[in-house]
Amino acid sequence: MAKATSDALGKEPIGKLLIKQAVPASIGILVMSLNVLVDSIFVGNWIGSIAIAAINVVLPVSFFIAALGMAIGIGGSSIVSRALGANNKEKALKTFGNQITLTLLVTVVMVALGLYFVDALIPAFGGKGSIFAPAKIYYTIILYGVPFLALCMMGNTVIRAEGKPKFAMVAMIIPSVGNLLMDYIFIYVFDWGMHGAAWATTVGYLMCFGYILYFFLSKNSELKISLSHFGLDKSILQEISSLGFVTLARQAVTSITYLLMNNILFNLGGEAMVAVYAIIGRMLMFALFPVFGVTQGFLPIAGFNYGAAQYDRVKESIYTAIKYAALVATLVFVVLMVFPAEIASLFLSNKPHMPAEELATNVFVLQHSPLAMRLVFAATPIIALQLIGAAYFQAVGKAIPALLLTLTRQGFFFIPLILLLPQFMGEMGVWLSFPIADVLATIVTGIYLVREIKTKLSGLVA
């Protein structure tokens, strides 16, 4: 029964299959994104706008360590999908065992380093002035739960590679719901402030880990590994590393971007400007959830059919995924262009008799967020090609083009732009860097993808 589920990736109509894979992925990402969004609203209203900025400072460090699990997960899951497509189940099992071992080894070491260098890392990522103290509280507690988050992110990609999108969706929903429930208890009821926000998030990670462990131990998973599969295999590690490095490089560049953005914006407008970016960052996670859902749904379909040498189905999956993702991206664009002020106001405290500093921050954020949001999301309708194109190369195991396309937007275009434009245009230069980078990266990705379709997916070339 379980095997038939993965076989369906190579048999069902692409449109139907993509919806079946993308809808649960979108729902899972939606709930996770809503978690980040509502969590920020709770923190902003129950603790303060400076607390939102503090969390924004911490996210790049904790997310980078957790992204190690995602990198190992996506790199290994590409192997798992192709191995199942080629009916090589032993390789799939060995790959999964190696993913678990590697995730544990790497994340535990990184957490230890992160805790040791805490006082240097937080200011480096923009945690200066009144942001430092709450950021350190949040960072220290969150880091203890990050290895579990890394295992969750790794396990979730493997669940999806098996062709079990509904289970992957539940795994994404559980920590989000748990976090929001704990937010209410720890922050609102117990009044633990930043300690409560951090513990709520950490408890959510633990709940997710418990569910994913249950899935792989149950009859729902076809990957029943034994102790021998945990032993590291050099060839598998090399393939996981080359493909996973694409995801890790993307997150590393994202963390560098946060570092630069927080520092540039702090210099332009202090804590209040960092708070504006914190809201924009939350919307970047939340608003694009359906586009990311289509991308996640596309990955196992492309990987499985490429492994089974069904190249016509791979091409069809590319075209269909771009069409679906472009449609939902356009809908997101319209909403953000029409309601930016209303969205920004959700994050701000309206409690009576607030301190003068917090009131001034709220006024600043309301003045600056609408234009910033419109500029940041100005190129949203075209990002489908960029995301699906980069995902294709990763899904089929082509690490070099996947890496180059992944780094194109943020590494090759965005970072140089935010270092250059603000010197001439100030705050406006920061926000304009987003759509310019999106347009340039989409052009480059389109060129690569068209060339790949014409040459490598002719049905004659593997």
Residue for token pair 């709940």: 207
The confidence score (pLDDT) of residue 378 equals 93
Q: Domain range holding 201?
A: 12-232
Q: For residues 313 and 425, state if they share a domain.
A: yes
Tell me, yes or no, whether 267 and 221 share the same domain.
Answer: no
Q: What pLDDT is attached to residue 64? A: 73
For helices 383-395 and 311-338, the axis angle rounded to 10 degrees is: 150
Q: Does a structural domain hold residue 1?
A: no
237 is a domain residue: no
Q: Does 258 lie in the same domain as 228?
A: no
Q: Are residues 54 and 144 part of one domain?
A: yes
Q: Among candidates 56, 403, 76, 413, which has minimal Cα distance to 255?
A: 56
- The vertex-154 CA angle with 314 and 254, nearest 5°, equals 85
Residue 74 domain flag: yes
Q: Are residues 290 and 417 in the same domain?
A: yes
Q: Is residue 241 part of a domain?
A: no
In three-state secondary structure terms, 351 is coil
pLDDT of residue 458: 66
Do the beta carbons of residue 329 and residue 288 sit within 8 Å? yes
Task: Output the CA torsion sign for 230, 232, 236, 240.
Answer: positive
| DSSP per-residue letters across 57-119 | HHHHHHHHHHHHHHHHHHHHHHHHHHHHHTT-HHHHHHHHHHHHHHHHHHHHHHHHHHHHTHH
- Same structural domain for residues 275 and 219? no
Q: Say what the pLDDT of residue 168 is.
A: 85
Q: Does 294 fall in a domain?
A: yes
C-alpha dist (Å) from residue 315 to 63, 337, 456: 33, 33, 10
Same domain, 57 and 95: yes
CA gap 151, 104 in Å, rounded? 8
Alpha helices per DSSP H over 162-288: 165-183, 194-217, 234-286
pLDDT at res. 460? 43
258 and 355 inside one domain: yes
The verdict on 223 and 347 lying in the same domain is: no
Question: What's the pLDDT at 462?
Answer: 38
Query: Is residue 244 domain-resident?
Result: no
**pLDDT tens, N- to C-terminus, the chain (462 residues):** 334 456 777 778 888 888 888 787 777 767 766 666 667 777 777 777 777 778 777 777 777 776 777 788 888 888 888 888 788 888 989 998 999 999 999 888 988 998 899 898 888 877 788 888 888 998 899 888 888 988 988 898 888 888 788 898 898 889 888 888 998 899 889 989 889 888 998 998 899 999 999 999 998 888 888 888 988 888 889 888 887 787 778 777 877 887 888 889 888 888 788 888 888 887 887 778 788 888 888 888 888 888 888 888 889 999 999 999 999 899 989 999 999 888 888 777 666 666 777 777 777 888 888 899 999 999 999 999 999 998 898 888 887 888 888 888 888 999 999 999 999 999 999 999 999 999 999 999 999 999 988 887 765 443
Residues 196 and 311 in one domain: no
Task: Quote the CA–CA distance of 129 and 123 in Å, as a whole number.
Answer: 9
285 lies in the same domain as 386: yes
Report which secondary-structure segment, H or E, holds 223.
none
- CB of 211 within 8 A of CB of 174? yes
Same domain for 320 and 184:
no
Q: Considering its fold, how many domains does the chain have in total?
A: 2
In-domain check, residue 245:
no
pLDDT of the residue at 36: 65
108 in a structural domain: yes
Question: Which of residues 197, 232, 267 is at a domain's end?
Answer: 232
Tell me the C-alpha distance between 287 and 154, whole Å.
Answer: 23
> Which of 175, 198, 232 finishes a domain?
232
CB 187 within 8 A of CB 193: yes
Domain termination residue (choose one: 232, 262, 283): 232
8-state DSSP, 408: I
Sequence-separated contacts (24+) of 190-196 with Cβ below 8 Å: 193/47, 193/51, 193/134, 193/137, 194/47, 194/51, 194/54, 194/134, 194/137, 194/138, 195/137, 195/141
